[in-house]
């Protein structure tokens, strides 16, 4: 399944899978700890659950989370109507 393509271009089965996965999501608080051991990156979540990943995945995930976080903040500002436009002309 290619999640980089728009939801509308996924097959009905893929769409149902995405929807089912989204229904199982949980809020994620501040990570309590991040460390490296035996060539893996470990993240301990706010609930004590630990996730392990190889370095390349950790780097890619960090970039993807940063981009998504910035987009979410921009969307929130735009939806709240608090965006300030400047006229440089």
Which string of DSSP letters, residue by residue, matches 4-67?
TS-GGGS-HHHHHHHHHHHHT-------SEEEEETTEEEEE-TTS-EEEE-HHHHHHHHHHHHH
pLDDT at residue 82, as a whole number? 57
- Residue 88: inside a domain, yes or no? no
Q: How confident is the model at residue 19, as a pLDDT?
A: 87
Residue 56, burial from CB neighbour count under 10 angstroms (0-12, 13-18, 19+): exposed
In a domain, 1, yes or no: no
Mean pLDDT rounded to a whole number for the chain: 84
76 is in which domain, residue-wise?
A: 7-80
Identify which has the larger pLDDT, 72 or 85.
Answer: 72
Domain count, the chain: 1
Look at residue 85 and tell me if it is in a domain.
no
| pTM attached to this predicted model | 0.62
pLDDT in tens, 46-58: 889 999 999 999 9
Average pLDDT over residues 12-35: 86
């Amino acid at each position: 399944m290619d999640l980089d393509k728009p939801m509308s271009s996924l097959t009905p089965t893929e769409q149902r899978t995405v929807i089912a996965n989204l229904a199982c999501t949980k809020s994620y608080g501040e990570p309590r700890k991040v460390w490296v051991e035996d060539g893996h990156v470990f993240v301990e979540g706010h609930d004590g659950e630990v996730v392990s990943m190889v370095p390349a995945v950790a780097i890619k995930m960090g970039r993807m989370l940063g981009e998504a976080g910035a987009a979410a903040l921009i969307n929130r500002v735009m939806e709240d109507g608090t965006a300030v436009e400047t006229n440089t002309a």
